[in-house]
Structure formats: structure tokens, C-alpha cells
Chain A
Amino acid sequence: MIRLAPPDPFNLYSGPITHWVILVVAMVAVIFVILTGAAYTVWFERIELGHMQRRPGPNRVGPWGLMQLAADGVKLVFKESFAPRDVDRILYVLAPAIMVLAAFLAWAVIPIGLSNGFTYWIANLNIGILLVFAVSSMNAYAILLGGWASNSKYSLLGGLRAAAQLISYEMALGLSLVPVFMIVGSLRLSDIANYTVHWGPYSGPLPLVILAPVSFVIYIIAAVAETNRTPFDLPEAEQELVGGYLTEYSGLKFVCFYLGEYVNMITVSALASLLFFAGWHPAFGPFAWVSFLVKVILFLFLYIWLRTTLPRLRYDQLMRLGWKVLLPLALANVVVTAVVLVAVQ
């Protein structure tokens, strides 16, 4: 819901009807914004990949190729929604639905500072970040079920890889953020983004990456693995597994998986900016959202940059990095942060 700085002058939030009206409008708005954002993330990725490979990227449809995704979307929607003969019908349809649902559900708790003292959110849960983790783990179900239901060897292999990968990196991802919670003392995302310090002459919001740099590094690595992006894109590994769990999907169901992947990318980028880079601070008057948007775009660029630079990890390397490097590092990070916090107090 949208909250104003002088809280609620017209009693809109507590009104029985206006409450729901505002809620629905906010939900529709966020879905629209995220859908558009995902489409332009794809465009941004293709342009940046193109430039880094010394070619222009999409530039045919609309100015600078900006309408490319509309054209692709129309093409995909009108494609035959083909399903192989022996698929498990229910799970085959359920998997892409879970993917999209989980991807959008995370945005229920992500706050966006629009301008000074004017913050957007749908639900300002006191366990916000836990909900994001819970929901983002559902991706594993989507990919695993999609791989299983397709009744194809490639899909099954992709799905199994995805399940193992997501479980391995979920641990490191969750643990990497524990120091942040300990420093801030809250799981509420808006509290973390608004974290302020009073250090001598400086008094104001502080990007938590300064206090928890190790957490940030682990988070970034685990988040890339969590969203199945290169160099951790083993579940779809097109050279070995055709398309992994995506192999038997086409048309709208393929769009759902594809969309889910890019929405997840935006979600983890938004989380990284909220958790480690003070979200919408510094807020330039009514342009706080610009500050947030720039950070999200920079993180998306980092993703694309990594994709164009790094080759895919081998499966044993992936597992070794997750369990033998990131997890112990995250645990040690929690312990060290706890000790330092106690010592400082």
C-alpha cells in the first residue's frame, strides 16, 4: 500500500472499502511495472551482450530496438502451445504457473521509496525478507516439477540439477544476510533500507555494504546461482542439456519460465540495493525512486557483465563452491559479526 509521510490524512487506509481499493491498485501497478521492467531487462541484456561482443544488439523494432520485446512477446503468445504426448498434464501446466507466481509474490514485501517520506509497499511485513526467501525457494519446485513433468531426459537432468543447486545456494544466501539483520535488528525491508547511523559529524543512512562486505559478496554469488544465471546456469545448460527444464516448453508456458527468470533477476537486484546500498537513499527530494532505480540497473548490469565474461561452472565445482566455500564463509561471517557487535556494545 502507499503510505504518506503525515500518516493517512483522509483515513484512507483504515476505511473498509478504500483500503481494498488502494491495495488492488497498488498490486496492479506493481505487476505492470515489474512486467515492463522484466521486458526491458531482456532488452537491456541483449543490448549490453551485443555491445560487449562488439555488435549492436537488437535495433530493428522501434527506436534503439525498444519494441523488440513487444514483438517477441506477440510472437511467443501466438505460437502453438505444444505439449509432448507423455507429459504429466497437471504438473506440466502447474510448473510455469508456480514460477511466475513465486517471482511476483516476492514483490509484495519489497518497499520502494518514491520520494521523501513517500514509500510504496503492498505489505510491510515485519518478517519481510523471510517471505522473500520462502517464496524464492518455490522456484525450485517450479523447475523441478517442470523437469519431471516433461517426461524427457534432458528436462529431468536440468530439473535435478536445479533442485540440488537451489538447495545448496539457498543456505549461503540466507546465512549471508544474517549479519545484516543482526546489525539492523529488524527483518523488515524498509527498516533495513532506512538504516541510519550517528557517527560523529555524519548522521544519516548508511549503505550496509560498508559494515558487512563479506555478506555482500556471498549474497551476490549466491543470488546469481539462485536465479540460474551464468556462470551458474547449469539447469538450462543449453550446450549439454538442450534447454534443461525448458526443453519441452514452448509458447506461453515458455514465456512464464522466461519471465520468471527475469523477474527474479530484478528481485535479487532490488534486494541487493535495499539490503546493502541503502535502497532509495540518498533521496533527492521527489526523486528517491531514481536513486533506487539506478542501483537496480547497476546490479542488472553486473549480472549481464558476469554472463558475458564467465564460462559455466562444472557441476562438481558448483557444489564445491556452495558447500565448501560459501557456506563456511557465511557461517564464519555470522560468528565474527556477532562477536564484533557484542564487543562494540
Chain B
Amino acid sequence: MDEIERRKQRPRQNVLQDVGALAVGLKTTLGERFKPHVTVNYPEQKTPRAERYRGRHYLRRYDNGLERCIGCELCAAACPVGCILVIAAENTEEHRVSPGERYAKVYEINMLRCIFCGYCEEACPVQAIVLGPEYELADVSRERFVYTKDMLLEPNPDQQEPLFVGTDA
């Protein structure tokens, strides 16, 4: 009601004022025409991501090459959509994969279900699972979205390139 009352009280515009308003509008759009674009050409250019962006998961290693994951399944328990499958196995002296008692024999994440909430990262007692900056995860079949341990595990420290650059252009 207030708005209607206010409009009624406002002095009636004459034709010249209307044409002036039209000119202001045209000037505005023409001005925008020559300003720099606010969009980026996506596949070639990318917008910077936040340092703690939650993208594709990685399973990390210690500096000596041992896997961090101890197969405790806390990530799977914390996962709100249940997209993580962990099957643990015992470490032995001959076959030592992680420094603890057990390691993850199978570690799978269904990326189609994952909502990238980062609860797995929070739940992990040894910071084994982390969410990285990568977000271009498109693929051609449903099966290929189930990421296995081979795909998730980061390479050994000697052959490793820095994964977590935080932001990139």
C-alpha cells in the first residue's frame, strides 16, 4: 500500500522526462557494452578456487611412503550418504602398508553419491583422506564413478608432484 500511495503522490512525468529516462537506460546499456566481461572462458580460463575447496578426495601417505589410512572406517561412519566403502586388513612385518595395526585393503568412494561435505576429512584421526582442489570429474559411465584405492591414493613421495596448490588460475 505504501508503494502505491507514494506513486500516487509523485508528480506525473511529462513526455520529455520519459524520453530522458529512455535515454538514460540506453546510455547505461551502451556503457556496459565497453566494460570488461565478468565471465571467464571456462575450459581455457578458470576462476580461482578457495584454498580449502572441497573437490575430489585423495588418500595421503607419510613422507616415508607408508599409507596414512589405518582402516578404522570412521570416514564411512561419518559419511551422510554412505558413499565410502572400507575393508580393512592386518599389517604384518613382511607386508607393512601403514604404520598402524591395520590398513585399508579396499577403499572405494562412489563419486555419484558423494556430496563433498568433507565430514570424512573431519572424522579421519590420521588425516589420511582429504578433499583436494580438483572438480572436473565428468565421466562416461556410472561404473567409472566408483573411485578405487588406486585412483584415490596419492603417488609415493619420490614421484610426487605437489597436489594441494590451493588456488590456481
Contact = CB atoms under 8 A, between A and B. Distances in A.
Contacts of B48: none
Contact of B38 (A48, A55, A305, A309): A55
Contacts of B37: 51, 54-56
Interface string A37-60: 000000000001001111110010
A310 B25 contact: yes
A306 B26 CA distance: 7
Contacts of B159: none
A54 B25 contact: no
Nearest to A302: B26
Q: Number of contact residues on B: which range applies?
A: 10 to 19
Contacts of B39: 54-56
Contacts of B138: none
A56 B33 CA distance: 10
Nearest to A310: B25
Nearest to A325: B15
Interface in B10-40: 22, 25-26, 28-30, 32-33, 35-39
A306 B30 CA distance: 10
Contact of A48 (B22, B25, B33): B33
- What band does the interface of chain A fall in when counting residues whose beta carbon is under 8 Å from B? 10 to 19
Nearest to A48: B33
B28 A309 contact: yes
B35 A54 contact: yes
A151 interface: no
A250 interface: no
B41 interface: yes
Given A309-B26, A310-B25, A53 B41 contact: no
Contacts of A310: 22, 25
Interface in B99-116: none
Contacts of A51: 32-33, 37
A308 interface: yes
A181 B35 CA distance: 43
A309 B29 contact: yes
Interface of A: 48, 51-56, 59, 305-306, 308-310
19 contacts: A48-B33, A51-B32, A51-B37, A52-B29, A52-B33, A53-B32, A54-B36, A54-B37, A54-B39, A55-B38, A55-B39, A56-B37, A56-B39, A59-B41, A305-B30, A306-B26, A309-B25, A310-B22, A310-B25
Given A54-B39, A56-B37, 15 more contacts: A51-B33, A51-B37, A52-B33, A53-B32, A54-B32, A54-B35, A54-B36, A54-B37, A54-B38, A55-B39, A59-B41, A305-B30, A309-B26, A310-B22, A310-B25
Interface of B: 22, 25-26, 28-30, 32-33, 35-39, 41
